[in-house]
Chains A and B, each alone.
Chain A
Amino acid sequence: MLEKDVEDRLKKAFPGSDVMVSDMTGGGSNFEVRIIASQFSDLNRVKQHQAVMKVFDVELKSGELHALSIKSLAK
């Protein structure tokens, strides 16, 4: 996947969120994601990470995405 794809998918899933994505290895399978979203305000950390990973459920299951390193904050 490309950084842009990951970013667009997150912005669509969490409208109004601030998203920063960087490809950790350049191979399109390990991404670092920083996201600040108002939708996280009543979610604890585990739930926030689960919500972010859910957006890429298919790619994580297929192995196209190997790892998502997530830093999430509620706006």
Chain B
Amino acid sequence: MVIASKNPIHSVLYLIITFFAIAGHYIMLNAQFLAAVHIIVYAGAIMVLFLFVIMLLNMNEETEPHKSTLLKFAGTIAGGLLLLVLVASFKNINLTSISGNDFARADIGLVKNLGQVLFKQFLLPFEVSSILFLAAIVGVVVLAKKEAQ
């Protein structure tokens, strides 16, 4: 529905519903924190900005650029290849190595445990990703400044 609807606003609204569905899955995997943050960040902030931009541009069916057949063809092939890669990677997963008990523990997704893992076991990746965010923020500021002049 996200990609099928003609109206971009409807697409965004369907995407928000999709995010809610994902948050529901997180809750079923006992990851309440992740679910809440997912709602706040994606549904609450990012999608609002999406909606905001689309409303400002006031796009609708008439203004949608017409795509050539070649482009559609190439898109289909690329999407099919991506699907193939995903299926191939899932095929090799050893399901027996993941025991159901890992997800059944009710406290696995609590903030406390998440923080312990994040700041002890995965401290370096966490810091690296925060530096990445910092770089992105600096980049945005630079771009915005340039436009103002």
The answer on A and B forming one complex is no
> Which chain A residues have a beta carbon within 8 Å of chain B's beta carbons?
none
